[in-house]
Structure 1
Amino acid sequence: MSDRSPAPGVIFLGGLGRSGTTLLERLLGESPGVTPLGEVVHLWARGVLAGEPCGCGAAFAECAFWRAVGARAFGGWTAELAERVLRLRQRVDRTRRIPSLRHADLPEYVAAYRRVYEAAAAVGGARLVIDSSKHASLAGCLAAGGVEVRVVHVVRDPRAVAHSWRRNVERPEDGRPMTRWGPVRTSLHWTAQNLALDLLGRRGVPVVRVRYEDLLADPRATLGALAAELGLDPAFPHVRGATAELGRAHTVSGNPMRFAVGRVALSRDDTWHHALPRSHRRLVTTLTLPLMSRYGYPMAPTEEAA
């Protein structure tokens, strides 16, 4: 590996998919001194091995940013490197290991991510990088491995999440349908990921929670509160009312909105109120009620009660 710069701070966005982490990353990523990276956990399979496009639109291997990051961190990206990290992930990066993150391969696994973060910060001229990998287990690995990580726990009403997971959505990378889950699987994963992120906070990892609904209700206020927690510039001039101006970002994986450029409407998606079958709604509510209530979600949202 080539010369290394001082280790940057890492903002890790955690939560279950379809909870708004990509949107939050794009909004925070416009701050000065910050480089958003997308879901780095998928860099190895989707970027290095599959060659899926970067958020800038270029194929991973053709993106000047990621070529520079790979060269600086590892002397270049190779299939052998990616396959090694993926094997380490299978052994180390598991949700069930969070209560006791000790494994002989943990230092090597974390070192790969540390090198990516350091190189990306150097190439992007940033002091902070954002990793929206979501998985609480990876955040735990990073913290246990000595990475300076601050976790933003992004939570969304589980019924909205369940509706999103059941929708038919094409991946812009290749046109294939995104993974779909039923209400039971979504409920179990929603509960497991949120509990795991809560556990990290109790174990001493810096964790701040933000609700998707609060972010969309008042973007400037929510982002300002996060800025105070994360040491970011509190101005956010790219956010004006219910819109934001987004530039191109070198995000390696994530929700399709990672490709959005220009003016983006910051509107809350509440289509689940009428589109999620009542049987699914009742099932998700029953399975997630303890945490749902803890996070401030009523059993019957006001829109329905009216």
Structure 2
Amino acid sequence: MVHLWQRDVRDDERCGCGARFSDCAFWRAIGEAAFDGWHAVDVDRILRLRATVERTRHIPRLAARTLPQPLREAVLEYAGFYTAVYEAAALVAGAEVVVDSSKHSALAHCLRWSPALDLRVVHVIRDPRGVAYSWTKAVDRPETDGAEQMTRYSAGRSALLWAGHNAAFGLLARRGVPTARLRYEALLADPRTELHRIARHAGLPLRDEDLAFLSPDGRAAELRTGHSAAGNPMRFTVGRVPLRRDDAWREALPPRQRALVGAVCAPMLRAYGYRTIDKKTEVEIS
């Protein structure tokens, strides 16, 4: 959702179903229900509000017990645009819970102030050395027909972002937002158990038949066409997808970069249960 306004409403990029945003019946219905049509949305206003309130540097103020009145008004106006889309999406889809896969911690801190939302956060964590390697790879954005690539970061920049955003989600939990921590590695090891745990966190009763898209051994998932507004190129994938850990970073991320990321993230690595010694080189990075 965090990219909806620019990439979809304004730039008309592709929905997860493959159609242009303006041609997707699902999103057209949401626009009608939320705003009487996407043409009525003031994207410039939303982007100005985003620059004012939804920045990482604003998190200390957003995490306060109270907000100054001008900031509070801006935050509530900004969160109101998201709330309108969430409510419309639930209506159109006939859903009890809407999952926004935005990963911006500052957005979550904005949304916590909305009285209209029952905000519950799934804090997904992955070994930062794996995250750093992923951010260094060149990946085309299919929704731009190959004209653009996913954002890339250096290993050092990725480490700082990993530490900062995870700390921000921890702060959100300390401010009383229901937060469930989910490790990427645990999800791939036992997806069925972890999905049951997340459903309980969301307040949804989950039956075994609701997870029929998982293979009996939990090693694959059958994906249907979805309507993700933005995100990883995998959102366009349909059909059987193997579920396995991507540990390519252990071989592909240079030792100096692994050591750098481990050193920057060492305190939180321990807190999240990760090793602080790189087994490949036996370099102490704590």
Deviations 1:170-195 (A, max 9, x none): 11112122211101100110000000
Q: Which of the residues 42, 52, 57 maps onto 1:96?
A: 57
Q: Distance in 2 between matches of 1:302 and 1:53?
A: 42
Of 118, 134, 137, the residue aligned with 1:148 is: 118
Task: Name the counterpart of 2:10.
Answer: 49
Paired position in structure 2 for 1:209: 181
Equivalent residue number for residue 164 of structure 1: 134
Q: For the Cα contact (< 8 Å) 1:273–1:304, is it kept in 2? A: no
Q: After superposition, where does 1:242-253 map in structure 2 within 5 Å?
A: 242-253=219-230
Q: Deviations over 1:65-120 (max 9, x none)?
A: 10010011001113852221111111111223223323131121111111000101
Please identify which structure carries the higher strand content: 1
**Cα distance, 1:229 vs structure 2:** 1.7
> Quick one: distance in 2 between partners of 1:275 and 1:79?
48
1:48 and 1:79 in contact (8 A); partners too = no
Whole-Å separation in 1 of the counterparts to 2:168 and 2:138: 28
CA–CA separation in structure 1 for the residues paired with 2:14 and 2:184: 27
Look up the SS of the partner of 2:157 in the other structure: helix
Structure 1: gaps spanning 5 or more residues: 1-39
The answer to whether the 8 Å contact 1:227/1:234 transfers is no
TM-score w.r.t. the length of structure 2 is 0.89
CA deviation vs aligned residue, 1:18-71 (integer Å, no higher than 9, x gap): xxxxxxxxxxxxxxxxxxxxxx01000000011110001110000001001001
Asked if the contact 2:255–2:281 (Cα under 8 Å) also holds between the matched residues in 1, the reply is no
Is the 2:97–2:202 contact (alpha carbons within 8 Å) kept by the matching residues of 1?
Answer: no
1:237 partnered with 2:212: yes
Aligned 1:62-77 pairs, distance under 5 A: 62-77=23-38
Is 1:179–2:140 an aligned residue pair?
no
Alignment partner of 1:287 out of 245, 257, 264 = 264
Q: Is the 2:220–2:240 contact (alpha carbons within 8 Å) kept by the matching residues of 1?
A: yes
Structure 2 partner of 1:219: 191
Distance 1:96 1:167 in 2: 27
Deviation at 1:304, TM superposition (A): 7.1
Distance 2:219 2:279 in 1: 21
Which stretches in structure 2 are left out of the alignment for 5+ residues? none
Question: Which has more radius of gyration?
Answer: 2
**Alignment match, 1:30:** none
Using the TM superposition, give the Cα deviation of residue 227 of structure 1 relative to its aligned residue in structure 2, in angstroms: 1.7
The Cα shift of 1:274 comes to 0.3
Instruction: List per-residue Cα deviations over 1:146-183 (Å, max 9, x = no partner).
Output: 22110000010000000000011111112122211101
Please state how far the C-alpha of 1:231 moved relative to its aligned partner.
2.1
CA root-mean-square deviation = 1.5
1:106 aligns with 75
Kindly tell me the number of residue pairs found equivalent between the two proteins. Answer: 266
Alpha-carbon deviation of 1:238?
A: 1.1
Greater mean deviation of Cα atoms: 94-103 or 128-137: 94-103
Question: Letter of the aligned partner of 1:237 in structure 2?
Answer: A
Deviation at 1:301, TM superposition (A): 5.7
Question: 1-side partners of 2:193 and 2:279: how far apart?
Answer: 22
Residue 116, structure 1, aligned to residue 85, structure 2:
yes
Match of 2:94 in 1: 125
**1:237-277 Cα distance to aligned partner (Å, 9 max, x none):** 21122001111111100001111111111111000000000
Q: Once structures 1 and 2 are overlaid, which stretch shifts more, 254-263 or 74-83? A: 74-83
Runs of 4+ aligned residues of structure 1 deviating over 4 Å after TM superposition are 301-305
Report the counterpart of residue 172 of structure 2 in structure 1: 200
TM-score, normalised on structure 1? 0.84
Aligned sequence identity (%): 51
8 Å contact from structure 2 (residues 259, 278) kept in 1 = no
